[in-house]
């Protein structure tokens, strides 16, 4: 009798785990952040050419930085998330200055007014 109860619990466990798996209970693998499948810290490292310009409002912005920012502006939420990463913080990036880079690069299509951590793009 004890053996039958053990097997019954094993069967119940296996069936419940199968149902849970089919219903997507562990759906965390389907969640991606504002940058999609990209690792946000690695995305922040790609903005290294912009570090100086993101620290100082009057600093010149390099062509390389402008090219990177122009690509990132396709997804302003991703760019905002990158500006809030540990990598950006450790590099001394100031988000209130970083949001001015698109204008300083003379990028025509930019998310003017889009808020990034309380700081609007200009």
Any idea what the CATH number is for the domain that residue 98 is in? 1.10.110
Q: How many helices (H) and strands (E) does the chain have?
A: 8, 2
pLDDT of residue 13: 63
pLDDT of residue 104: 95
Other C-beta atoms closer than 10 Å to the C-beta of 24 total 10
pLDDT of residue 16: 61
pLDDT of residue 121: 81
Domains: count for the chain: 1
H helix or E strand, kind and range, residue 120: strand 119-120
Distance CA 58, CA 52 (A): 10
Identify whether 3 is part of a domain.
no
Identify whether 15 is part of a domain.
no
pLDDT of residue 59: 95
Identify whether 56 is part of a domain.
yes
Boundaries of domain holding 50: 36-121
Question: Per-block average pLDDT, block size 10, for the chain (122 residues)?
Answer: 62 61 50 84 93 95 95 91 93 93 91 80 78
- Phi/psi for 57 (5° steps) reads -60, -35
Identify whether 30 is part of a domain.
no
pLDDT of residue 91: 94
pLDDT of residue 116: 82
Identify whether 2 is part of a domain.
no
Identify whether 47 is part of a domain.
yes
Identify whether 6 is part of a domain.
no
Identify whether 42 is part of a domain.
yes
pLDDT of residue 115: 83
């Amino acid at each position: 009798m004890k053996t039958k109860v053990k097997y019954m619990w094993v069967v119940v466990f296996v069936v419940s785990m199968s149902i849970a798996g089919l219903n997507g209970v562990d759906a965390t693998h389907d969640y991606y952040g504002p940058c999609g499948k990209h690792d946000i810290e690695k995305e922040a490292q790609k903005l290294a050419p912009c570090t100086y310009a993101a620290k100082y409002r009057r600093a010149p912005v390099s062509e390389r930085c402008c090219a990177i920012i122009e690509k990132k502006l396709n997804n302003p939420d991703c760019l905002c998330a990158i500006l809030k990463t540990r990598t950006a913080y450790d590099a001394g990036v100031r988000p209130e200055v970083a949001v001015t880079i698109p204008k300083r690069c003379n990028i025509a299509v930019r998310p003017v007014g889009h808020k990034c951590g309380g700081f609007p793009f200009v």
